[in-house]
Structure 1
Amino acid sequence: MNRVGVECGGTFTDLIVFDDQGGLLATHKVFSTPLDPSEAVVDGLRGLGPELLRGAVLYHGSTVATNALIERKGARVGFLTTAGFEDVPFLQRQDREEMYDLGVVVPQPLTGREMIRGVVERVTARGKISRHLDEQRARAAIRELAEAGAESFAVSTLHSYANTENEDAVARLIEEIAPGIPVSRSSAVSAEFREFERATTTIADAFLKPRIAGYLERLEQRLGEFGVETMYVMLSNGGIVPARTAANAPISMLRSGPAAGVAGAIEVAGAKGIGDIVTMDMGGTSTDVAVVRQGSAEMATQLRDGGLPINVAHVDIVAVGAGGGSIVDVDQWGLLNVGPESAGADPGPISYGRGGERITVTDIDIMREFLRPEMFLGGSERLHPEGAWTRLAELAERTGRPVPDLLEDVYTLVNVNMANAVRIATTERGIDPTEFDLFAYGGAGPLHAAKVAEDLKMRRVIVPPNAGIASAFGLLAADFKREYSQTWFVQSEEGGDLAEPAGHLFERAAADLEAYGLDIADGDLSYIADMRYRGQGFEIAVEMPHPDASVNEMLVRFNDHHAARYGHADRDRAVQIVTIRLTVRIVNPAKPRIVAQVGDTRPPGRRITVFEGGESRAALLFDRAELATGESYRGPVIVTEPTSTTFVPSGWTLQVDELANLTLERG
């Protein structure tokens, strides 16, 4: 049974196929189709051929959920909440990304006031039902929303994380009155306190549910035409689940594509014996940066998409609008800008010859002769840079900069943007990037990685095999992974242990895994407690040594964590345990084998010129498949492969390791 990884990015859709022994069979790359990503998937599968797909299992990562949220193309949501709290989705928070931006515009909820109704009920923060649901009024509210055109329902009643009875009753009434319309319950989507974030997350899940469910259903039908038997989907936490699970919780699919790349990087770095890396995934529209320590990606529990706070466990990725398709332009003050606007897949860079009229980073890389027009996508597509030269001359005239200087300016600026993303992920969080290797992939990442590393004083860059489709590889390398959480307030002076909330999470996880045909006994379980000093507004995550950890044990651990992170701890101050979290991981038994696929002789290299440091310089050009293990070359060097190109600048040395990784070292 073959295993197929398909990752849909903003510009390209990447495919990779391994057999059931973990051996690589094929790779493929096609242009993405933003209006309907499934079309690119189907185009890519056609390119692989039916013999590789019959009876196969497909693993899918996509930006479809993220795009729907950003573009606000989702369902008309009817929102039901506790009467008197109908304004919760509009409350916002007073914190802002730009402190001194007087013109800031807060994002609006994903549903309007006309689609919000209150239901009479009340649960206390401790989970006591002080008023049972008034079913008669609830029925009337549901009918009103259904008649107003609700395509999906979101239910988030006060403190339902502590007791779900009233919220469950509302959901049952919806199923009775409006059968067939999907329902998202906050107690299932985000069983955590903070009403604004919980309501917003639940509404977002409902907003996405019909669209994502429809997308996955259509895709599964199309896959059946190729003989593909089963489909799994990557979640934002870097884990794989069955497609039906993702369809029922679409909010967990946000940023699933970038998470797949990190999973692949962890697998390749682990095979090399490296646990600490910074990943840099530069694709067509953006660059995504993540930190991996001791073989595990840094995680977070809240993200912002479309400007809204979303409670979802995810790989902590810093994204910046610097990709191959990022548009180069001059602003109203005559300053050069690169991104965040992107040409995407359609029309794409000028050199693609698909109708693009604005110069991009890819065009600049071609004009610097880093990308060879005749070798693009393994020679299956040819680039046409003539129009880009014309546009660059116009841009040079507008900026008053000579063309050679402008080429260098753009290259430097996009590298600085990416280096800043790495700084946000590392230095601004107390991490020294010089202690990590930079792991570069994506179609454009290896072209820029060495200069980014140089800016950050990182000494080594690693480029994995098939770097341009690393995210597709990561889909096949990822484990099954699910996250569970529940707010459970405990004061340090109360004592006792955390066995009860941990037990509730275990029961939820065990039931879910049984429905998937899995046994929780096969899983690796880890528990975390969100803790804070009483009176603080935010928490830090503290690992629980075991599920029934005592409050006193956790108090010591919290103070130690606080001292390590902030340099101080107040061990006499009262502490609160706020939320308990459980992660269940089941190791993928059929991961791809990582073996060397390199030549056995030293190729002479083809002599070319590249534009570096403001001038043309002699360089060597190699086909990656010809490079032999152990060989080393001093830059400038260009290494081409069907899905990506690597640039080794002057002052750097290239070496091929025993696993076919390209290792670039400074000095």
Structure 2
Amino acid sequence: MESIRVAVDVGGTFTDICILDEETGQIRVEKASSTPSDPIEGIMNGISNAGIDLSKVALFSHGTTVATNALITRRLPRTAMICSQGYRDVVEIRRGNRNELWDAYKDMPGSYIPRRDRLTVPERIDFEGKVLTPLDDKAARDVARILKRRGVKAVAVCFINAYLNGSHERRMREILKEVMPDVPVSISSEVMAEIFEHERFSTTMVNAVSSPVVVDYVDRLGEKLAEGGYKRDLLLLHSGGGVMTPASVRDFSARLAGSGIAAGAIASRHIAGLCGYENAIGLDMGGTSTDISMAYKGELRVTNDWFIEFGYPIRFPAIEIVTIGAGGGSLAWTDPAGSLKNGPQSAGADPGPACYGNGNMQATNTDANVVLGRQGPTLAGGKITLKAELAAEAVAAVAKDHDLTVPEAAEAIVKVANANMADAVRIISIGRGYDPRDFALVAFGGAGALHGVDVARELSIPAVIVPPNPGVTSALGCLLVDVQHDFKESFLKAARNTTPEEIEARFKAMETEAVMRLSHEGVDGKDIVLQRSIDMMYEGQWRTLTVPVPGSITDIKGLTDAFHREYEREYAYRRDDTPVEFFNLQLKAIGVVPKADLAVHEPTGVRPEPASRREVWFDNQPHANTPIFTREDLPAGFEIAGPAIVEQFDSTIVIPPKSVAHVDKYLNIVIKLEG
């Protein structure tokens, strides 16, 4: 019987495999070395190492960085774009803004599709969706033949005002399919039907250039799994926090950009919910970077403003994540003004921190934690031995530059890293109108639990949650998601100029399409959930806020009142006398995937003794004989008063003084901070 669920998260160093037994709720994990040249090899190695019988797998879910890496490295197939005459340079002109506002000498990255492959055809639709100039079929066929001779592997079709009337784009696709039947074609009116042409063109371009890479990867992985006995659809995590089937990937491949980091956010929300917290901030700290997410009242914050490379936005809804260069390998350095800095430069996995003994002699966060005694002498269950003398030597160089003792320098390095992460948390919480004191912090990743309590204390967050397997929490997130599609339709009208019936009719049309798509993917009608929302703004603005619509629309005033409340929460300001405009109608269509319950553990009353003791520094004070516990020995119901350290295969948990840790029934460690 199919009773196993498998989730795979491919990282830069390791491929994490999470295996859930549906009958017992028990989870086990496996790691395999990632194979950057072909991630599928690392996945299959991990499956083999874990002894998984694919014929017994009921669900296989996967978070992938294939699309992200292809866009970053620009290892992309030759792709063409067809535009209305006069609009071939929209993606090159962009918005005229810069990522570094004051750096006028930093060149923007070039377009994913060079100008020579951006061709035009005569056609024109006006601002109301009326045809002014019909599509020239002869010119369209000439362009199709040119692209066939050039051997392009994908095509993006982006016509001006197609968001109102996509008939010309659909006709262009028909002509391309006649000439090049095997070449995927992305049209902007289906990929992103939104008014702003640069954002629409850019999203369609990203979708087109990533399509051949992603589809090839998904097809090959699906074949490998089928050869092993897997009989169901491969589910792929997308940036919006749901999963897609291979059939949807063919049309919306750009949704897989940002797939990998979304899984951790989903897992942190779920784990916080198990611990009784509706509001949660996820702190996923790895070797190079930290990803921070936020869930409020059980819902993850979602954004439409994101990108892989600045200047080329991807307007698909995505879980909002703030990423900074703070990880175990982040380097400590001194700027020209004499201030101690931390990251974003990193020692990476090779050569790694100084204590790895691979030649790096510049102090990192890992070296500082080794000097402070917070990080033990080994990693990965003893597979990696850390050289404390090399860590001390690297930190001593920082101490000399700043006239500090070695422990003081190590403490300073850690404090700078914590301050950087706290600032990033402020961006996603205080900067969005939320009070961090109303949240729990879920600390995971290889290094998250080392720093989690200190970050929480700086922000007055009252509780820190550390999952049972912090290093593979992102893989767990892949097991906790549903099939999800997002639909969007432009609706540019002042609130006073529309009716509930008009909006309701537009939503009903989207819902019909959503149900058809989910049914095509095998989702039963009783498992379909539809969630409505509207992008709204004050008249004269062009930035919008998304306001949830809880049910059928019966009056416009209820919508505008909800917008005023949301605006006040976000900006601490509202203007009830200012007219409101609608911008987009949005629909999230969810096909609920049954979730297996995690195993529940009853308190045993056993109080394990520390596995060892060592000196650990906190607040520039040595705490001799600090107890060191082994995570696997800690039963449900066990409490630990700080200072203490908990070590496990994939992470180390720091419980500082003035904090108390409790092991809950799911074996999460919940750390409460005094005061």
TM-score scaled by structure 2? Answer: 0.92
Moved more, 497-506 or 395-404: 395-404
2:9 maps to which residue?
A: 7
Tell me, yes or no, if structure 1 residue 609 matches structure 2 residue 606: no
CA distance in 1, matches of 2:309, 2:335: 24
- 2:318 is matched by which residue type in structure 1? H
Within 5 Å, which residues of 2 pair with 1:418-429?
418-429=421-432
**Secondary structure, aligned partner of 2:317:** strand
1:495 maps to which residue?
A: 498
Tell me, yes or no, if structure 1 residue 372 matches structure 2 residue 376: yes
Q: Pick the aligned partner of 1:168 from 170, 187, 192.
A: 170
User: How much has 1:511 moved relative to structure 2?
Assistant: 2.3
**Secondary structure, aligned partner of 1:168:** helix
- 1:232 is matched by which residue type in structure 2? L
Within 5 Å, which residues of 2 pair with 1:472-511?
472-497=475-500, 498-511=503-516
1:120 maps to which residue?
A: 122
Tell me, yes or no, if structure 1 residue 239 matches structure 2 residue 245: no
Alpha-carbon displacement from aligned partner over 1:51-104 (angstroms, at most 9, x marks no partner)? 477545321112232222223222222111111111111222244444444444
Within 5 Å, which residues of 2 pair with 1:259-270?
259-270=262-273
CA distance in 1, matches of 2:602, 2:43: 27
2:417 maps to which residue?
A: 414
1:108 maps to which residue?
A: 110
Contact 2:154 2:212 in 1 (8 A): yes
Tell me, yes or no, if structure 1 residue 311 matches structure 2 residue 306: no
User: How much has 1:489 moved relative to structure 2?
Assistant: 1.9
Q: Pick the aligned partner of 2:654 from 631, 642, 647.
A: 647
Q: CA separation of 1:369/1:96 partners in 2, compared to 1, >3 Å: closer, same or farther?
A: same
- 1:452 is matched by which residue type in structure 2? V
Tell me, yes or no, if structure 1 residue 451 matches structure 2 residue 454: yes
- 2:615 is matched by which residue type in structure 1? T
Q: CA separation of 1:22/1:199 partners in 2, compared to 1, >3 Å: closer, same or farther?
A: farther
Q: CA separation of 1:8/1:349 partners in 2, compared to 1, >3 Å: closer, same or farther?
A: farther
2:630 maps to which residue?
A: 623
CA distance in 2, matches of 1:161, 1:441: 42
Q: Pick the aligned partner of 1:257 from 257, 260, 264.
A: 260
Which ranges of structure 2 fall in alignment gaps of 5 or more residues?
none
User: How much has 1:392 moved relative to structure 2?
Assistant: 4.0
Contact 1:11 1:284 in 2 (8 A): no
Within 5 Å, which residues of 2 pair with 1:22-171?
23-51=25-53, 54-55=56-57, 57-171=59-173
Q: CA separation of 1:156/1:624 partners in 2, compared to 1, >3 Å: closer, same or farther?
A: same
Q: CA separation of 1:502/1:634 partners in 2, compared to 1, >3 Å: closer, same or farther?
A: same
Contact 2:54 2:230 in 1 (8 A): no
- 1:133 is matched by which residue type in structure 2? L
Within 5 Å, which residues of 2 pair with 1:583-602?
583-596=588-601, 600-602=605-607
CA distance in 2, matches of 1:285, 1:229: 37
Tell me, yes or no, if structure 1 residue 664 matches structure 2 residue 666: no
CA distance in 1, matches of 2:376, 2:156: 51
Within 5 Å, which residues of 2 pair with 1:144-293?
144-230=146-232, 231-293=234-296
Q: CA separation of 1:571/1:585 partners in 2, compared to 1, >3 Å: closer, same or farther?
A: same
Using the aligned pairs only, state the percent identity. 33
Moved more, 150-159 or 494-503: 494-503
User: How much has 1:152 moved relative to structure 2?
Assistant: 1.6
- 1:71 is matched by which residue type in structure 2? T
Q: CA separation of 1:542/1:323 partners in 2, compared to 1, >3 Å: closer, same or farther?
A: same
Moved more, 161-170 or 215-224: 215-224
CA distance in 2, matches of 1:138, 1:612: 70
2:330 maps to which residue?
A: 326
Contact 2:285 2:445 in 1 (8 A): yes
Q: In the comparison of the two structures, how many residue pairs are matched?
A: 666
- 1:282 is matched by which residue type in structure 2? M
CA distance in 2, matches of 1:209, 1:104: 30
CA distance in 2, matches of 1:174, 1:355: 55
Q: CA separation of 1:559/1:428 partners in 2, compared to 1, >3 Å: closer, same or farther?
A: closer
CA distance in 1, matches of 2:599, 2:280: 18
User: How much has 1:435 moved relative to structure 2?
Assistant: 1.4
Contact 2:603 2:665 in 1 (8 A): no
User: How much has 1:581 moved relative to structure 2?
Assistant: 0.3
Alpha-carbon displacement from aligned partner over 1:378-419 (angstroms, at most 9, x marks no partner)? 334444555544544455556665433331222111111111
2:537 maps to which residue?
A: 532
CA distance in 1, matches of 2:228, 2:42: 14
Q: CA separation of 1:435/1:579 partners in 2, compared to 1, >3 Å: closer, same or farther?
A: same
Tell me, yes or no, if structure 1 residue 466 matches structure 2 residue 472: no
Moved more, 345-354 or 290-299: 345-354
User: How much has 1:621 moved relative to structure 2?
Assistant: 0.6
Q: CA separation of 1:161/1:99 partners in 2, compared to 1, >3 Å: closer, same or farther?
A: same
Q: CA separation of 1:482/1:289 partners in 2, compared to 1, >3 Å: closer, same or farther?
A: same
1:523 maps to which residue?
A: 528
CA distance in 2, matches of 1:417, 1:472: 26
CA distance in 2, matches of 1:158, 1:31: 47
CA distance in 1, matches of 2:353, 2:7: 26
Contact 1:75 1:206 in 2 (8 A): no
CA distance in 1, matches of 2:57, 2:577: 62
Q: CA separation of 1:69/1:290 partners in 2, compared to 1, >3 Å: closer, same or farther?
A: same
**Secondary structure, aligned partner of 1:312:** coil
CA distance in 2, matches of 1:480, 1:300: 19
CA distance in 2, matches of 1:17, 1:291: 26
Q: CA separation of 1:326/1:567 partners in 2, compared to 1, >3 Å: closer, same or farther?
A: closer
Moved more, 105-114 or 422-431: 105-114
**Secondary structure, aligned partner of 2:304:** strand
